[in-house]
Amino acid sequence: MLEGVVRFPPEFVARYRAMGYWEGRSLRDTFDAVFSKYADRVAIIDRDKVVTYRQLNERAERVALNLLDEGLKPLDRAVMQLPNVVEFAYLYFALQKIGCIPIMALPAHRYREVSYFVEHSEAVACAALDRSRDFDYSDLIRRIRAASKSLRLGIILGEATEGFLSLTELIERKPSRSPKDLEAIPIDPDDPAVFQLSGGTTGVPKLIPRTHNDYIYNSKAASAVTGVGPDKILLDVLPLAHNLPLACPGLQGFLLHGAKVVLANTTRAADVFSLIERHRVTHVPVVPALLIRWINDPVIKKFDLSSLEVIQSGGQRLQPEVRRRTKELIPSVFVQENFGMAEGMLMFVRFDNSEDVRMETVGRPICPDDEVRLVDDDDNEVAPGQIGEFLARGPYTLRGYYRAPEHNARAFTFDGFYRSGDLMRRHPSGNYMVEGRKKDLINRGGEKISAEEIENLILTHPAVQNIACVPMPDPVLGERMCACVIVRGGSTLTLEELAAFLADQEIARHKLPERLEVMEEFPMSPFGKVSKKDLTEKIVLKIKQEGKL
């Protein structure tokens, strides 16, 4: 049992097992059976690499056995920061074979985020590309390892310099151990299989423990409502580390059914449409910003996209007009809205929902034992049809963030409901409608940015006296960040100067403010707090006056 993980209460464990949601099997055992059952089918296509289920299993097994020789053991934590390449799958399933816990970092994360993941989890390994454009991941790992008490192994895909393991070599090297050494490792299905990342409002993301039991069910239940079967083909364009493309149903869900997964390391419309046409792709998960860009690119009419059955949209609310336009351009497709969180709870619009329900809602929960409450500020349930904060509890929704007792006391009710911070209304159909949020987040194209994290960094700038980061509307990304600043007497500050200052803090680029408003004072609430609602309204009005909205 890993210290710092909040367990499900015994009565819920018994219930979820009795209902068959939890099968009592690890990801290793589950996928070993899958790899054997579909051995000769194609599992993954990555550019010119075509990999069968047998090959996927053999290569993951070699990596696992070689990592055992390097001292990796069950429940060790390993940061994975790989892009959408087949080596991601080899390493992911290798770690599952050992019972190690991958931490799903994004390629966009930099020193501030990755060093926190390592320190907070006491990770022993970190895997990444050698370079991406002008960024050197080897140097990043080297710096973190020099400051870390736990990090021993740097695993590099590409040119592995002295002191690093080559992922390619781990895949190709003949192991000194037998596969029976892996089979002999006990893995408790109630232990974490994966650490996903929160879109938290306080600092860098929290670690979300997803157990073997709940993560397998997560993928199976999501598969059941998205039409996944052995003849379906998934195109994964979004970063694989995200919960949606990995497990909702994602890579896991499609492989569980013997289906095929095509990986893309580009979001360029022509490249994506070419892959859809060539591989007869049936399913694509997207965020609305990406879909908007694709349907507005004239190149869409040059490709045969008739194989598409489902475009799965998550991360932020999809506007009805985008859905209509997509259907006009790709008549074969069902644009399936879903609402989900790395913490667990998933809602999907169903295929048999009426047109008005499809247009207005984000769906309903995927499990009969998903529990939803909509509450007011005093935790009283709101009347039917009224707006309330969305609370969730169920067989694949966490009971607490990893090693975060103080935060958990605020983020969960006394009886285990997760406080999402999202404001919702229940539609008469039983589906739900997103009406905003309570948490202080900016949703930039599906990437949740903590306003507090960026505010705390900006406050360290010598010219800044006070700061408030607020969302401003964007027709493509949904929201972008505007930094509202009160400068110290006699000081000046430009957006370029602020962006350069934050870049030196080594944060992911998508967190940088994209507008700066220098103000003399902030509007205040009756309780003496900065009124971000009023600030946002001021910014929106100004953008409209500029003709940019």
Residue 55's SS3 state is helix
Q: Would you state the pLDDT for residue 179?
A: 95
Q: At what angle do helices 86-98 and 53-69 cross, to 10 degrees?
A: 60
DSSP character at residue 299: G
Token pair recorded at residue 115:
């060093």
In whole angstroms, give the CA distance from residue 4 to residue 12: 19
* Residue 481, phi then psi, degrees to nearest 5: -95, 135
Angle formed by the axes of helices 27-37 and 212-224, nearest 10°: 50
pLDDT, residue 527, reads 52
| Domains along the chain with CATH numbers | 27-40+53-187 (3.40.50.980), 218-437 (3.40.50.12780), 441-545 (3.30.300.30)
- For position 289, what pLDDT does the model report? 79
Q: How far is CA 343 from the centre of its chain?
A: 10
DSSP symbol at 370: -
The bridge status of strand 153-157 relative to strand 125-129 is parallel
Among the listed residues 215, 218, 223, the one whose alpha carbon sits nearest the alpha carbon of residue 194 = 215
At residue 525, the pLDDT reads 63
* 3-state SS string for 124-188: CEEEEECEECCEEHHHHHHHHHHHCCCCCEEEEECCCCCCCEEHHHHHHCCCCCCHHHHHCCCCC
- Per-residue model confidence (pLDDT) at position 436: 76
How would DSSP label each residue in 77-120?
A: EEEEE--SSHHHHHHHHHHHHHT-EEEE--TT--HHHHHHHHHH
Main-chain dihedrals φ then ψ at residue 148, nearest 5 degrees: -100, 145
Q: By the 8 A CB rule, do 189 and 212 touch? A: yes
Express each pLDDT in 201-253 by its tens digit: 556 789 999 999 999 999 999 999 999 999 999 999 999 999 999 999 999 99
Contacts of 534 (CB under 8 A, 6+ apart): 523
- What pLDDT shows up at residue 397? 98
**Phi, psi of 114, rounded to the nearest 5 degrees:** -65, -40
pLDDT of residue 84: 98
Sequential DSSP letters for 437-479: ESS-EEEETTEEEEHHHHHHHHTTSTTEEEEEEEEEEETTTEE
Please, are residues 128 and 140 in contact by the beta-carbon 8 Å criterion? Answer: yes
Helix (H) or strand (E) holding 15: helix 10-18
pLDDT of residue 490: 83
pLDDT of residue 523: 87
List C-alpha distances in Å: 198 to 120, 146, 447, 478: 14, 27, 10, 19
Orientation of helix 495-503 relative to helix 451-458, angle to 10°: 100
CA atoms of 344 and 258, how far apart (whole Å) = 24
State the number of CA atoms in the 13 A half-sphere of 228 facing the CB: 28
Name the residue type at position 387.
I
Q: What is the pLDDT of residue 494?
A: 95
pLDDT in tens, the chain (549 residues): 799 999 999 999 999 999 999 999 999 999 999 999 999 999 999 999 999 999 999 999 999 999 999 999 999 999 999 999 999 999 999 999 999 999 999 999 999 999 999 999 999 999 999 999 889 999 999 999 999 999 999 999 999 999 999 999 999 999 999 999 999 999 999 999 999 999 755 567 899 999 999 999 999 999 999 999 999 999 999 999 999 999 999 999 999 999 999 999 999 999 999 999 999 999 999 988 799 889 989 999 999 999 999 999 998 788 888 899 999 999 999 999 999 999 999 999 999 999 999 999 999 999 999 999 999 989 999 999 999 999 999 999 999 999 999 999 999 999 999 999 899 999 999 999 988 777 778 889 888 888 878 988 998 999 998 899 999 999 889 899 999 999 988 889 999 999 999 999 999 999 999 999 999 888 876 555 678 888 999 999 999 988 887
The first and second tokens of residue 507, run together, are: 């944060």
DSSP 380: P
* Spatial contact of 374 and 386, defined as CB atoms under 8 Å apart: yes
